[in-house]
Amino acid sequence: MATLSELTEQTLIEIGAYTRNQESITVLTQPATDTDLVFTVDETSSLSRGSVEIGDEIVYVKKVNAQSGTIAIMPGGRGWSGSTAVSHDALTILRNNPLFSRSQIKRAINDTIVGIDLMSMGSYDFVFDGSTFAYVLPADFKNVTGVSWKLPDTTGIWDLIRHYRIDRNFRVAGSDVTRCAIVLDEAPMPGQIVRVQYARFPSPLTDAQGFATTGLPASSQDVIRLGALWRLVSTVDPGKVVAITPSSEVLDAAVQPGQSTATARYIYQLFSVRLAEEKSKQMINYMSVINYQR
């Protein structure tokens, strides 16, 4: 599965199909430390005073020197716009005044992950001792999708437990903390493992983490990209957005007011359709809960 960095690059490519912004780029020709205020670049004509993205960092360029092939960063201009100043290798790409920085795209991806109406799945095992009234569940527990216990033989069969209830205000012994806990009204054999399969909210990603870390199925990656794309494009100035990749004739023509809103609405429709498909599949695969409470 894709990492956050890979999802970011894929989303960046997809944004290009909806925006007019043709970014100028160049590369570093020499490495730069996290404190350098002068960068040596391949082509100074591609850069101008203002915000420049290098890797995941935004810097504020004070001056471009065509003769020396360098750009001067304003004092305090490293780690600009909420980014972090880091070292960069030679051949790292610089993007002049990016429409969306990678940090913005990553934030939109994670906002979509944590805000999406999909649940990820988890499991929790405990040993049933025959005397404990309630067993505290993990902090990220939201809802049960199944409860079973492992039979004490060599078959490896997990028998379904149908009689249980969830106490959502169980006070943890020795503290004032309340958590969700499961009370088994159908007792398995003491000393055996009970497994609670449960739904939880998906987790945001860091750069090196694979998509599986979210807990969402691999098939929902495009849903997350579409959600991030909608969040981003809905903030773009109308003059920089078109519904399709623009031809040269379109680039020369005026863009009607409200075009960005129409494009964002179109992307949101795509996002909504894919989200509904994933929700339907998730309900079939995970949400068929059997629980007799009486």
* Predicted pLDDT at 61: 96
Instruction: Give the pLDDT band of residue 13 (cuts 50, 70, 90).
Output: confident
Residue 291 has pLDDT above 70, yes or no: no
- Dist CA 128 CA 211 (whole Å): 34
Sign of CA dihedral 174, 178, 183, 189: negative
- The sheet that has 158-160: what strands, in order across it? 120-127, 193-200, 143-150, 158-160
160 φ, ψ (degrees, to nearest 5): -70, 135
Residue 48 has pLDDT above 70, yes or no: yes
- Dist CA 270 CA 66 (whole Å): 45
Q: In the beta sheet, which residues pair with residue 41? A: 28
* Burial category of 183 from C-beta neighbours within 10 Å (exposed 0-12, middle 13-18, buried 19 and up): middle
- Of 100, 81, 83, 92, which Cα lies nearest the Cα of 16? 100
HEC states along 40-64? EECCHHHCCCEEEEECCEEEEEEEE
Helix, strand, or coil here: 141?
Answer: coil
* Burial category of 190 from C-beta neighbours within 10 Å (exposed 0-12, middle 13-18, buried 19 and up): exposed
Q: Do 122 and 106 contact (CB within 8 A), yes or no?
A: no
Count of C-beta atoms within a 10 Å radius of residue 209: 15
Average model confidence (pLDDT) for the chain? 87
* 162-176, 216-230, 272-286: range with lowest mean pLDDT: 272-286
Token pair belonging to 9: 């690059």
Place of tokens 């471009």: 64
Instruction: Give the pLDDT band of residue 287 (cuts 50, 70, 90).
Output: low
**Does residue 221 or residue 99 have the better pLDDT?**
221
* Predicted pLDDT at 35: 95
* Predicted pLDDT at 211: 93
Among the residues of the chain, which ranges form H helices? 4-15, 102-115, 221-233, 248-252, 259-286
Cα 279 from chain centre: 17
- Dist CA 79 CA 58 (whole Å): 6
